[in-house]
Amino acid sequence: MIGLEGLRELFYLLSESYKVIAPTLRDGLLVYDHVKDFESLALGYKNVEGPALYAVEKASNGYFTYTHPANSPKAFLHPPELRLMKVRRSDGALSFEMERVEKKYCFFDVRACDLSAIKILDRVFLEKNSHPDPYYKSLRERAFIVAVNCTYRTSTCFCNTMGTGPEVKGGFDLLITELEDSFLLEVGSERGEKMVSLLEKKERTEERHFEEKERKLKYLKDSIEEFFDREGLAQRLYGKMDSSHWEHIEKRCLACTSCTQVCPTCFCFDIVERNSLESDCSERIRLWDSCFSPSFATVHRFNLRQSIHSRYRQWLMHKFAYWVDQFDSFGCVGCGRCITWCPAGIDIRQEVRRLAYG
Ligand code: SF4
Ligand code: SF4
């Protein structure tokens, strides 16, 4: 068990060894960013979300009173722009510099949905990949994860429908649950154990603290509506490939790519060459791509998915059907970000429910 001072001590202990990435308030948004001071954490704020709706308020009591930031750990483990290689020409000879990724991140405050998203990215980039990604591998192996159990939800959360939350189950170094007047600290790895051994401001944990944790989690879980049944969902959706409902979605979808940008599991990227005007240097850059972009499915100058409904179908079917065949899991963790950040207010839960069960 730790109190607020113990939490502060833990934060600074982690800052000695890691670049701490944590939720902080920036331009009216809760975002993951590099946080150097304990006071800059977003503790005591609350996010209010709905379809195409977002606001941050001061919470009336508590510290971990929000759900998750607008961005996700993906922005650091699989950054939007990453230089892979630099080629220089000097005295007629070319030299090649490969990018070395050596950052040591501590993700401080990762919720159950985002932890599941990291496990999905592990499968995509490492475990189910015949060419494991060295950049992702390097960042992932060094990352220290402090997970936090949610005690609050927004109207867009559907982690229980996707079986990813709200309770954190494995995959963390340390796990925090906020109780009435303290924080329950649980250890999930040797690294986590070592970190706790360095803490001075800690107290003995008693059985009643675990009972309080269970009560809080049950209360939260019971408050989140189940939207659809995951059992047989992929097969139901495969049967709806020609549904007229896709065209109904096209009338609303702007193909703006917001949903794929905020999604913690969308991993598609493009690789481009960036040349200097002097022609003595060229960089190979990896950039996030999106299945909503017209260039995404363009092969030999022909776009295989010209209509917006075919792009939306690709996005939804990948998350809820193709992904199951490719990676043995759904590609959606129920974080709800795509619902909040869709300017047209398209709610993926409702679209899946209408398509599969309508
Ligand atoms: S599809 Fe939407 S709800 Fe599912 S993980 Fe991606 S952003 Fe979250
Ligand atoms: S579903 Fe919404 S966020 Fe996604 S591309 Fe369409 S309009 Fe943009």
Rounded to 5 degrees, φ, ψ at 45 are: -105, 160
Three-state secondary-structure class, residue 323: helix
Contacts of 254 (CB under 8 A, 6+ apart): 343, 344
Rounded to 5 degrees, φ, ψ at 183 are: -125, 125
Reported confidence tier of residue 358, pLDDT bands at 50, 70, 90: confident
**If you ran DSSP here, which 8-state letter would residue 307 be given?**
S
Residue pLDDT, tens place only, 228-242: 999 999 999 999 999
Does 279 have pLDDT greater than 80? Answer: no
Does the C-beta of 259 come closer than 6 Å to ligand 2? yes
Is 185 within 8 Å of 197 (Cβ atoms)? no
CA–CA separation, 44 and 49 (whole Å): 17
CA–CA separation, 186 and 174 (whole Å): 6
**If you ran DSSP here, which 8-state letter would residue 278 be given?**
T
CA–CA separation, 148 and 324 (whole Å): 27
Residue located nearest, by CA, to atom 4 of ligand 1: 332
Reported confidence tier of residue 277, pLDDT bands at 50, 70, 90: confident
CA–CA separation, 23 and 21 (whole Å): 7
Does the C-beta of 253 come closer than 6 Å to ligand 2? yes
Atom of ligand 2 nearest to the CA of 252: 7
Contacts of 192 (CB under 8 A, 6+ apart): 144, 172, 173, 174
Residue pLDDT, tens place only, 161-196: 999 999 999 999 999 999 999 999 999 999 999 999
Distance 351 CA to ligand 2 centre (A): 12
The pLDDT value recorded for residue 136 is 95
Residue located nearest, by CA, to atom 1 of ligand 1: 332
Is 147 within 8 Å of 176 (Cβ atoms)? yes
Distance 350 CA to ligand 2 centre (A): 14
Question: Distance between alpha carbon 129 and the CA centroid of its chain, in Å?
Answer: 20
Residue located nearest, by CA, to atom 3 of ligand 2: 342
Does 312 have pLDDT greater than 90? Answer: yes
Instruction: Considering every ligand atom shown, identify the ligand nearest to the alpha carbon of residue 71 and give its number.
Output: 1
What average pLDDT score do residues 65-81 get? 97
Distance 332 CA to ligand 1 centre (A): 5
Instruction: Considering every ligand atom shown, identify the ligand nearest to the alpha carbon of residue 312 and give its number.
Output: 2
Is 188 within 8 Å of 149 (Cβ atoms)? no
Is 230 within 8 Å of 163 (Cβ atoms)? yes
Instruction: Considering every ligand atom shown, identify the ligand nearest to the alpha carbon of residue 335 and give its number.
Output: 1
Does the C-beta of 293 come closer than 6 Å to ligand 2? no
Distance 166 CA to ligand 1 centre (A): 15
Residue located nearest, by CA, to atom 8 of ligand 2: 256
The amino acid occupying position 189 is: S
The pLDDT value recorded for residue 247 is 95
Contacts of 345 (CB under 8 A, 6+ apart): 51, 52, 53, 252, 339
What average pLDDT score do residues 303-307 get? 93
